[in-house]
Amino acid sequence: MAVALVLVLIVVGSVLFHFLSPWWWTPIASNWDYIDNTIIITFWITGVVFAAVVLFMAYCVFRFRHREGNQAAYEPENRRLESWLTVVTAVGVTALLVPGLFVWSRFVNVPSDATEVEVVGQQWQWSFRLPGKDGKLGTSDTRDVNAENPLGVIATDANGQDDVVVEAADLHLPVGKPVKMLLRSIDVLHDFYVPEFRAKMDMIPGSVTYFWFTPTKTGTFQVLCAELCGQGHPMMHGVVMVDTQEDYLAWLGQQQTFAQLSAPQQMGSAE
Amino acid sequence: MVDITPADAVPPAEVAEMELYHPHSWWTKYVFSQDAKVIAIQYSATATAIGMVALVLSWLMRLQLGFPGTFDFITPEAYYQFITMHGMIMVIYLLTALFLGGFGNYLIPLMVGARDMVFPYVNMLSYWIYLLAVLVLVSSFFAPGGPTGAGWTLYPPQAIMTGTPGGQDWGIILMLVSLILFIIGFTMGGLNYVVTVLQGRTRGMTLMRLPLTVWGIFTATVMALLAFPALFVACVMMLLDRALGTSFFMPAIVEMGEQLQHGGGSPILFQHLFWFFGHPEVYIVALPAFGIVSDLISTHARKNIFGYRMMVWAIVGIGALSFVVWAHHMYVSGMHPYFGFFFATTTLIIAVPTAIKVYNWVLTLWRGDIHLTIPMLFALAFIVTFVNGGLTGLFLGNVVVDVPLSDTMFVVAHFHMVMGVAPILVIFGAIYHWYPKVTGRMLNETLGRFHFWITFLGAYLIFFPMHYLGLMGVPRRYNELTDMTIMTESAHHLNSFISIMAFMVGFAQIVFLFNLIWSIRHGREAGGNPWRATTLEWQTPQTPPAHGNFGKDLPIVYRWAYDYSVPGAKEDFIPQNVPGSFAPSREPA
Amino acid sequence: MSVILVFLLVIAGIAGWWLSHQRLMTKPWLEQGMAGDFVALDRSALPTAKIGLGVFLAVVGCLFALFTSAYFMRMALSDWRPLPIPPLLWLNTGVLVLSSIAIQCASLAARKGQVDMVRLGLATAGLTALVFLIGQLVAWRELSADGYFLASNPANSFFYLLTGMHGLHILGGLVGLGRTSVGAWNGAQPQRLRLSVELCTMYWHFLLFVWLAIFALLAGWASTLIDICRGLLT
């Protein structure tokens, strides 16, 4: 009796917790409400299965608990029932998978009008690089990283000269414009994660990874590192500010390009 | 009616008797024993001891997460060392060793009707190498710089760099050496488990008459033999990177403003190797649990396991499929995004045979005669937690849903529920079930029920709410959750609540350990077959079984392992070695 | 990871073939008592030790398949610079082939009960295997003398790793061979000696095969072959 009751309480409690508890995702600030919708579908399907299985079990425990003189039924198998359950499960799984794959193909195919923004992770801070007027990011190499060139931009690449370098400071993005985040690390694995944007991706030293999104809300968002990167991992916060177009341009105007940053050094060496 | 007709009388076993090693001294009988049952107890005791270390580590982690800033001795370095050692110990040195080395050694020979494992000497070596691996692991706590803090996944490059505790000290080296030793030791044991099932079965014990426990352990061992080499390869290569300066996994790196010597390696190669082992590992732990829980449910519901054939096929199918799903741990690792389509599909396909197993467990309860003994309670609790954890796996396996959830507390909650809590509940159930066979006495019932309720409800209350922290976006592997805009005040309270629950559940385990020790002397006498079960281990002439298991003649098997409540039979169970046949009252549709 | 997947597919094929002979489709609850009918299903007629070794070789095969997979994955990156194969490896390969032939002779002799021939075969196999190991060490020394050090680039690291791993397995085999030889000289029971020699033979042939595969891999033929296969497929 008590066992059956507890099983029922687990289901009821879990469902109530799901709907009533204050812990839920942060308000979304990007175009990835597709992902949220997929999660909702998954919650419904899995929730129904969970409740059904546990309640059925509770009923069995209540109804078929041992009493004097009971004898269990003898039923080695029931092919029809098993086939039906298999088919129903397969349908349920397909219902989860198909929307998931559909959204994933959106996630990995970047729209052609997305602006590129480079994020560079290092223990334990974030830096950023935006393409300059030419709209192209210069190539980079970890071997070229030094105190004057913290992001390892290859100095001989003409595309890199006008790149805007934001070292260990806040990133600003214009609202409503798709961005392709190019992710790079110069030491260990990191992961650029803003909970409100839903998207994230690891950054691997030696290669460039990416994801894309469109910020849909202005505001200040906290960047977290989501891949263990040493003991400073939980302190590796950053800030992304999503601005209106004017604010964004104003901010951009104050930033220095790669050429400007490396200019004093060149003058110094010329003297 | 079961009638023993002369037609059924089969000549005595024609199976060639194996030569047993007969111990001459106390040392060879109890320490360097070649008896699988003694080795099983040695494995279990060692695994439990090291598991207690991991339990204490989890308390320390929960102290930090639940009450941040209160305990100064838990520095970030220490915290990362705790999570790493907790994870590695629990997954490898406790769960794998206990299921395969402990239960495998004890149950396989008894259940298949063999006198011992087929290679007893190698089996003994397996344990001693395992013990050595555990000692090397423990020694890293005392090494300069302490144990590694790289996370149990040991992802390079950080695992062997200065920014990670133990990365440039002894920690990571000892970890890798310990794993290599474990794999060597396990391979020796694993050969035994597999070949004993292949060649050691007694007369009449066809594969389809094996209890599901043996099927589960057998399939898991085959998988482990094929999966552990991947970890071995990864460990050897990382060890060379760390000790001899090669660059298998190390690309060009600037660490704290300084160029490192390494260059040209691929960190993602390690992840592929690690998860090629790591995902089958999940099922290496889960399949023995599946098998054992099937037998617990069947025995204590006095009903044959529903759909035995489907259960066997599902075990084999899951085992095979689990080798083509590994990259679902790497959806956001930066691997080629198109892999996501393939691995999401295979991952969700594996849900189908797994679901069938769940249905068959609950359908076994249907119209059963359910004895709510402690093993049965743990089996029921297993179903609840396994279904819960399995269903959240559908979130994480479905590639795009994984994007916001990966590396958050949702993942932590998911894998603890599905491969932490659920298999451990089975282990508890199995211990309550087989303890009478191992010691001849029952475990104390009152303490057992106390242990069950605290463990089950406590663990559920720890991990169910934790999913929602992950949904909020709280990342895993953070020792500090302060200064985060997403962490609300109430979320901090939830963390404190989870911590308090964790201490309670941990405390219940101490009660359990006390029960284990106390009942050896003071438990109620159990007799040979207290649960009135059908499988061969309950039919031994002595309890606990003597060396050689079955007395003068090996048993001959006449029926499958699940003849419970057979219509027309005198009792509600017919042991596998009872001859005679009956006509089933109805042939199921 | 394609190499390991192909390897596992082969293993799965063998397992599937074996399982298909185990009557997994039967309804075990309908078959009581007829134990006598299943004797043939109970176990393989092969000696248990051989099956044990077979399982072990599958594990070793898995290990080398994984190394090969890792090799191919790394090779696919653009900065791959393989090192020149020292000509000595050809000689070593020849010696290892000789070793396999010698142990095959020992195995045949054991079947006929010619203990002297068994001893000769075992001794030759052991010595040639030792020569192979020494030859590999010399090849390592030559390479490092030419400036191809273990840590100087990933291709070098893989070269040393693969040859080293294979060498370690040969070394382990020599221990087993040593034990067999002790038996051969101390007059072990013919049945036991034969089994023991046959086990060594299995292991030797397997390691020869592994070596040929590694050699092909290091010399670059394996990737050429795969390119050709890929070309045929597409």
Q: What SS3 state is found at A18?
A: helix
B97-111, B355-369, B527-541, C28-42: which has the minimum mean pLDDT? C28-42
Paired with A215 in beta bridges are: A30
Return the pLDDT at B278: 93
Residue pair B370/A65 in contact (Cβ under 8 Å)? The answer is yes
Tell me which chain A residue has its CA closest to the CA of residue C28. A76
Q: What is the mean pLDDT of residues B525-552?
A: 91
B226/C70 CB distance under 8 A: no
Q: What is the mean pLDDT of residues B354-373?
A: 95
Return the pLDDT at B44: 96
**Assigned token pair, C75:** 């090779």
Q: How far is B199 from chain A (nearest CA, A)?
A: 28
Amino acid A63 reads R
Say which residues have a Cβ less than 8 Å from residue C189's Cβ, sequence separation at least 6: none
Distance of alpha carbon B339 from alpha carbon B162, whole angstroms:
33
A76 touches chain C (CB under 8 A): yes
Q: What is the mean pLDDT of residues C19-45?
A: 71
Residues 245-264 on B with a CB inside 8 Å of A are 251-257, 259, 263
Nearest to A123 among B256, B407, B477 (CB): B256
Average pLDDT of chain B, as a whole number: 91
- Residue B506 domain flag: yes
At which residue do the structure tokens 């009707």 appear?
A: B113
B20-34, B295-309, B317-331: which has the minimum mean pLDDT? B20-34
Q: Is the pLDDT of residue B585 over 50?
A: no
Q: What is the mean pLDDT of residues C57-72?
A: 94
pLDDT tens, residue by residue, B475-512:
999 998 888 889 999 999 999 999 999 999 999 999 99
Distance of alpha carbon B419 from alpha carbon B322, whole angstroms:
14
Return the pLDDT at B589: 38
CA C75 vs. chain centroid, Å, equals: 23
User: Among candidates C216, C198, C202, which has minimal Cα distance to C93?
Assistant: C216
Return the pLDDT at B263: 84
Return the pLDDT at B582: 58
Tell me which chain B residue has its CA closest to the CA of residue C76. B266
B37-51, B268-282, C32-46, C127-141: which has the minimum mean pLDDT? C32-46
Residue-wise over B27-40: b if at least 16 C-beta within 10 A, else e?
A: eeeeeebbbbbbbb
Q: Which residues of B touch A232 (CB under 8 A)?
A: 76, 163
Q: Which residues of C touch B226 (CB under 8 A)?
A: 8, 11, 58-59, 62
Q: What is the mean pLDDT of residues A140-147?
A: 88
Distance of alpha carbon B173 from alpha carbon B176, whole angstroms:
5
B338: how many CB neighbours lie within 10 A of its CB?
A: 10
Q: What is the mean pLDDT of residues B151-164?
A: 92
Q: Which residues of A touch B472 (CB under 8 A)?
A: 23-26, 195
Return the pLDDT at B348: 93
C-alpha angle C45-C46-C51 in degrees, rounded to nearest 5: 130
The CA–CA distances, whole Å, from B65 to B69, B79, B410 equal: 9, 10, 15
A27-31, A70-74, A188-192, B234-238: which has the minimum mean pLDDT? A70-74
A193/B473 CB distance under 8 A: yes
C-alpha angle B278-B208-B321 in degrees, rounded to nearest 5: 25
Name the band, by pLDDT with cuts 50, 70 and 90, for residue B16: low
Backbone phi, psi, residue B460, to 5°: -65, -40
B344/A205 CB distance under 8 A: no
Q: Which residues of C touch B581 (CB under 8 A)?
A: 32-33
Q: Is the pLDDT of residue B5 over 50?
A: no
Return the pLDDT at C29: 85
A182 touches chain B (CB under 8 A): no
Q: What is the mean pLDDT of residues A191-196?
A: 95
Q: What is the mean pLDDT of residues B285-293?
A: 96
Q: What is the mean pLDDT of residues C127-142?
A: 95
Contacts of A166-171 with CB under 8 Å at 24 or more apart are A166/A127, A166/A128, A166/A129, A166/A130, A166/A255, A167/A127, A168/A125, A168/A126, A168/A127, A169/A127, A169/A128, A170/A238, A170/A239, A170/A240, A170/A241, A171/A117, A171/A119, A171/A126, A171/A128, A171/A223, A171/A238, A171/A239, A171/A240, A171/A241
In percent, how much of chain A has pLDDT > 70? 97
Q: What ipTM does the predicted assembly reach?
A: 0.94
DSSP state of B214: H
B264/C153 CB distance under 8 A: yes
Tell me which chain C residue has its CA closest to the CA of residue A206. C77
Paired with A172 in beta bridges are: A241
Compute the half-sphere exposure of residue B522: CA atoms within 13 Å on the CB side of its CA: 8
Per CATH, domain A115-270 is 2.60.40.1180: no
Nearest to B312 among C24, C29, C154 (CB): C24
pLDDT tens, residue by residue, B249-260:
999 999 888 888
In chain C, what is the straight-line distance between the N-terminal and C-terminal CA atoms, in Å?
Answer: 19
Distance of alpha carbon B65 from alpha carbon B469, whole angstroms:
13
Say which residues have a Cβ less than 8 Å from residue B200's Cβ, sequence separation at least 6: B18, B108, B109, B112, B114, B117, B118, C43, C48
At which residue do the structure tokens 């299965």 appear?
A: A49
Distance of alpha carbon B447 from alpha carbon B515, whole angstroms:
7
B158/A193 CB distance under 8 A: no
Q: Is the pLDDT of residue C127 over 80?
A: yes
Q: How far is C19 from chain A (nearest CA, A)?
A: 21
Name the band, by pLDDT with cuts 50, 70 and 90, for residue A135: confident
Q: What is the mean pLDDT of residues C71-82?
A: 85
Residue span(s) of chain A under CATH 2.60.40.420 come to 115-270
Q: How far is C169 from chain B (nearest CA, A)?
A: 13
Q: Is the pLDDT of residue C107 over 50?
A: yes
Tell me which chain C residue has its CA closest to the CA of residue A79. C27
- Residue B26 domain flag: no
> Which chains does C contact via 3+ CB–CB distances below 8 A?
A, B
Return the pLDDT at B19: 67
C52/B8 CB distance under 8 A: no
Average pLDDT of chain C, as a whole number: 89
Distance of alpha carbon C158 from alpha carbon C139, whole angstroms:
15
DSSP for B288-315 reads: HHHHHHHHHHHHHTTSPPTTHHHHHHHH
Q: What is the mean pLDDT of residues B415-432?
A: 96
Name the band, by pLDDT with cuts 50, 70 and 90, for residue A265: low
Tell me which chain B residue has its CA closest to the CA of residue C7. B226
A145/B255 CB distance under 8 A: no
**Assigned token pair, B406:** 């990966």
- Residue B313 domain flag: yes
Q: Is the pLDDT of residue A121 over 90?
A: yes
* Residue B589 CB-density burial (10 A; 0-12 exposed, 13-18 middle, 19+ buried): exposed
Q: Is the pLDDT of residue B10 over 50?
A: no
Return the pLDDT at A261: 83
pLDDT tens, residue by residue, C163-219:
999 999 999 999 999 999 998 898 878 888 999 999 999 999 999 999 999 999 998
Q: Is the pLDDT of residue B7 over 80?
A: no
Distance of alpha carbon C163 from alpha carbon C97, whole angstroms:
16
* Residue C151 CB-density burial (10 A; 0-12 exposed, 13-18 middle, 19+ buried): middle
* Residues in chain C whose Cβ is within 8 Å of chain A: 27, 29
CA B457 vs. chain centroid, Å, equals: 20
Q: How far is B208 from chain C (nearest CA, A)?
A: 6
Q: What is the mean pLDDT of residues B125-154?
A: 95
Distance of alpha carbon C24 from alpha carbon C36, whole angstroms:
18
Return the pLDDT at B375: 97
Q: What predicted TM-score, i.e. pTM, was given to this entire model?
A: 0.94
B334/A207 CB distance under 8 A: yes
Return the pLDDT at C201: 95
Return the pLDDT at C34: 58
Q: Is the pLDDT of residue A164 over 70?
A: yes
> Which chains does A contact via 3+ CB–CB distances below 8 A?
B, C
SS (H, E, C) B167-205: CCCCHHHHHHHHHHHHHHHHHHHHHHHHHHHHHCCCCCC
Number of domains in chain B: 1
pLDDT tens, residue by residue, B17-67:
666 777 778 888 888 899 999 999 999 999 999 999 999 999 999 999 999
Domain ranges of chain C: 83-233
- Residue B529 domain flag: yes
Nearest to C70 among B233, B320, B562 (CB): B233
In percent, how much of chain C has pLDDT > 90? 60
Architecture label for domain C83-233:
Up-down Bundle (1.20)
- Residue B5 domain flag: no
Q: What is the mean pLDDT of residues C70-79?
A: 86
Q: Which residues of C touch A77 (CB under 8 A)?
A: 27
- Residue B198 domain flag: yes
Nearest to B323 among C8, C28, C56 (CB): C8
